[in-house]
Amino acid sequence: MKPANLSLGTVWATAGLAAVLWWVTFYLSVSIFWIKIGFSAAILATFTLWRDPPDGRPRLDAAAVVQGIASAIALWGIFWVGKQVSTLIFPFAEGQIGAIYGKGEGFPPAVIFFLLLLVTGPCEEIYWRGFLQKHLMVRYGPLKGWLAASAIYALVHIWSFNFMLIGAAAVAGAFWGLCYWRRGRLTPVVISHSLWSAVVFSLAPIP
């Protein structure tokens, strides 16, 4: 998990670029949301693969697949519990959660599924954990780096002006970041993120 010799300014500049891309994705009404989020994630992943490819050559083995699927199932369960609790505490929770799923209205679920599975999920992990968190953990230590990367991942979602979405990003980002920190491998996290998001937003939304 040794990063390339990039300046700290470069690392933080990519976080600024992510904030701009997420602003375009969530705030501007041009184009289709699922295409914009995939394109934004792909830009960040392209930079990462150009300057600092994660984990050398990631291995797709049985352990990575099992860990990825198991963690995706665990996160689905965490979100199920979180939804039950949040809808009891916050009167606005149900409407804001509905607004998240509403971004897929009028767009074929099958296209959403494959975009998230093959483009958005992998590209997000390549940058957010495979680049940003990796560099921040090396610069500031594992705990502070994980916390900082998780916080930035949540904060770029502020452009949605949706409290529940920001909270969901905080939970998911911290979860995937912890998986990456503890295992030191990106492949299981890519599988987890890609599978979880594809299923939740097209096949099995959190009830």
User: What is the sign, positive or negative, of the torsion defined by CA atoms of 184, 46, 150, 115?
Assistant: negative
Distances (CA, A) of 192 to 2, 5, 15: 23, 29, 23
- Domain-embedded: residue 32: yes
Residue 3 belongs to some domain of the structure: no
Query: Which of helix, strand or coil describes residue 90?
Result: coil
Q: What is the pLDDT of residues 30-68, one digit of tens each?
A: 889 999 999 999 999 999 999 888 765 667 889 999 999
Helix (H), strand (E) at residue 17: helix 8-26
Closest CA to 207 of 128, 54, 64, 94: 94
- Tell me the C-alpha distance between 87 and 107, whole Å: 27
Q: How many whole angstroms separate alpha carbon 82 and alpha carbon 86?
A: 6
Determine, yes or no, domain membership for 147.
yes
Average pLDDT score over the chain: 93
Contacts of residue 139, Cβ cutoff 8 Å, sequence gap at least 6: 8, 11, 145
Q: The domain containing residue 199 runs over which residues?
A: 8-203
In a domain, 2, yes or no: no
Do the domain assignments include residue 157?
yes
Whether 94 is in a domain gets the answer yes
Let me know if residue 115 belongs to a domain: yes
Which tokens in the block code for residue 36?
């914009």
Q: What's the pLDDT tens digit per position in 76-119?
A: 999 999 999 999 999 999 999 988 888 877 789 999 999 999 99
Give the pLDDT band of residue 6 (cuts 50, 70, 90): confident
Written as six digits, the tokens of 94 are 């149900």
82 CB-contact burial (10 Å; exposed 0-12 / middle 13-18 / buried 19+): middle
Number of domains in the chain: 1
Please state the rounded mean pLDDT for residues 153-167.
Answer: 96
pLDDT at 13 over 70: yes
Does the residue 1 lie in any domain? no
Q: So what's the pLDDT on residue 31?
A: 85
